[in-house]
Amino acid sequence: MDSALSDPHNGSAEASSPTNVSTRPPSTPEGIALAYGSLLLMALLPIFFGALRSVRCARGKSSSDMPETITSRDAARFPIIASCTLLGLYLFFKIFSQEYINLLLSMYFFVLGILALSHTISPFMNKFFPANFPNRQYQLLFTQGSGENKEEIINYEFDTKDLVCLGLSSVVGVWYLLRKHWIANNLFGLAFSLNGVELLHLNNVSTGCILLGGLFIYDIFWVFGTNVMVTVAKSFEAPIKLVFPQDLLEKGLEADNFAMLGLGDIVIPGIFIALLLRFDISLKKNTHTYFYTSFAAYIFGLGLTIFIMHIFKHAQPALLYLVPACIGFPVLVALAKGEVAEMFSYESSAVILPHTPRLTHFPTVSGSPASLADSMQQKLAGPRRRRPQNPSAM
């Protein structure tokens, strides 16, 4: 996971070097401001809309179709798993040819990106389909064994509207695969971020504090303690980061001197902000105080990251500034309102589905393109599940 915000002034994700200084023209103030501002805006969009969709997702699902819930045990293990993955990628890039590794990763993220983007645009596309649109239902069923030993591996149900969304997303996928253009990269990155905020749910605030606290240490160590994260970020040709060129005004769409923001800096604080939105709704006060407070805290934290990175001209671990802001601001508001106990006793899954046991396994492949994308990322495991009656209302 890339969780560092990198300075475009130093040449796309690495600290300044004599080579970069001699081959790249000086950054213009306008170009730097445009790059930083665009990254900030792109980070806010999936958090805001992903949080809103997470509420509808949790309310509209049955017990067998709930989004994956992150428990405190998952949160405690995540920084260790992320560290092993990051180190493994670093060693792979050192040992094997970078060209072949990125070819495999490109194909993998090509499929995942199409599915994620299809799920992202599906609610917007449904508004454009006419009422008499011939929407036919389809099912892709793959089983193993026979008779009583028959086991369902894939039960994928979709309709004509899903096929249209997949077709449009495939155009972006082919564009990304052939050109690796930064706009196509950002479309996939935004889709991954929004899906992550929508479909990954923290079960309570304590779990969110454990997750953010662990990744706070993880981010600092791998950015300041080693060059591993920055090396992987600049070698990894996959839409795991948002990028924006600082030389856009000079070179147009063919610009190549990028600032970058890892998707981890969006999704991790984003799922915590989405949790606070669901907490706001559970209070039934018709206010979103904690959501807007944490959202403003994210803007403050990311803005501080950009400012310090620009001053010191070095990639920064964004979670170093985001975690204290996103946790501290809402807690201070809770202290002022006398709602600390309510905040930390809130159980997200219990409020929305009070009689539903918390999930402890990953869902199988079933339902819309979104569920397939989620299952492919998290390995196939778990019981059979069926698609809701209205396949396009996600």
Distance, in Å, from the CA atom of 202 to the CA atom of 347, rounded to the nearest integer, reads 9
pLDDT in tens, 97-130: 788 888 888 889 999 999 999 999 988 888 888 8
Which of 7, 265, 280, 374 is the catalytic position? 265
Cβ neighbors of 97 (< 8 A, separation 6 or more) are: none
- 147: in domain: no
Question: For residue 89, what pLDDT is reported?
Answer: 87
- 247: in domain: yes
| Rounded mean pLDDT, 243-261 | 87
Cβ neighbors of 59 (< 8 A, separation 6 or more) are: 352
- Which of 233-237, 281-285, 365-369 is the most confident on average? 281-285
CB-CB contact of 228 with 90 (8 Å): yes
CB-CB contact of 63 with 358 (8 Å): no
2 is catalytic: no
pLDDT in tens, 315-324: 788 999 999 9
Task: Extract long-range pairs of 15-24: CB within 8 Å, 24+ residues apart.
Answer: 15/230, 15/313, 15/314, 15/315, 16/313, 24/257
| Rounded mean pLDDT, 224-231 | 85
CB-CB contact of 105 with 237 (8 Å): yes
DSSP 119-150: HHHHHHHTTTS-TT----EEEEEEEES-GGG-
Q: How confident is the model at residue 358 (pLDDT cuts 50, 70, 90)?
A: very low
pLDDT in tens, 61-111: 544 445 788 999 999 999 999 999 999 989 988 888 788 888 888 889 999
Distance, in Å, from the CA atom of 394 to the CA atom of 165, rounded to the nearest integer, reads 13
CB-CB contact of 174 with 107 (8 Å): no
Cβ neighbors of 217 (< 8 A, separation 6 or more) are: 79
- 80: in domain: yes
Which of 2, 74, 219, 247 is the catalytic position? 219
DSSP E strands: which ranges in 221-372?
241-245, 258-262, 316-317, 365-366
Exposure of 319 by Cβ count < 10 A (0-12 exposed, 13-18 middle, 19+ buried)? buried
pLDDT in tens, 25-59: 667 888 889 999 999 999 999 999 999 999 887 66
Q: How confident is the model at residue 23 (pLDDT cuts 50, 70, 90)?
A: very low
- 375: in domain: no
Distance, in Å, from the CA atom of 307 to the CA atom of 39, rounded to the nearest integer, reads 13
What DSSP state is assigned to residue 378? T
Distance, in Å, from the CA atom of 314 to the CA atom of 138, rounded to the nearest integer, reads 51
Taking all residues of the chain, what is their mean pLDDT, rounded to a whole number? Answer: 80
In which domain, by residue range, is 235 found? 29-128+152-345
Residue type, 135: N
- 309: in domain: yes
Backbone angles phi and psi of 4, in degrees to 5: -120, 140
More confident residue, 363 or 260: 260
Angstrom CA distances, 242 to 17, 59, 82, 88, 273, stand at 23, 30, 19, 22, 20
Distance, in Å, from the CA atom of 372 to the CA atom of 367, rounded to the nearest integer, reads 7
**Residue 173: which of 157, 185, 158, 160 has the closest Cα?**
185
- 108: in domain: yes
Question: For residue 237, what pLDDT is reported?
Answer: 81
- Which of 197-206, 305-314, 370-379 is the most confident on average? 197-206
Distance, in Å, from the CA atom of 288 to the CA atom of 342, rounded to the nearest integer, reads 15
Exposure of 232 by Cβ count < 10 A (0-12 exposed, 13-18 middle, 19+ buried)? buried
219 is catalytic: yes
Report the number of distinct structural domains present in the chain: 1
- 258: in domain: yes
- 15: in domain: no
105 is written with which tokens? Answer: 């990763």
Question: For residue 25, what pLDDT is reported?
Answer: 62
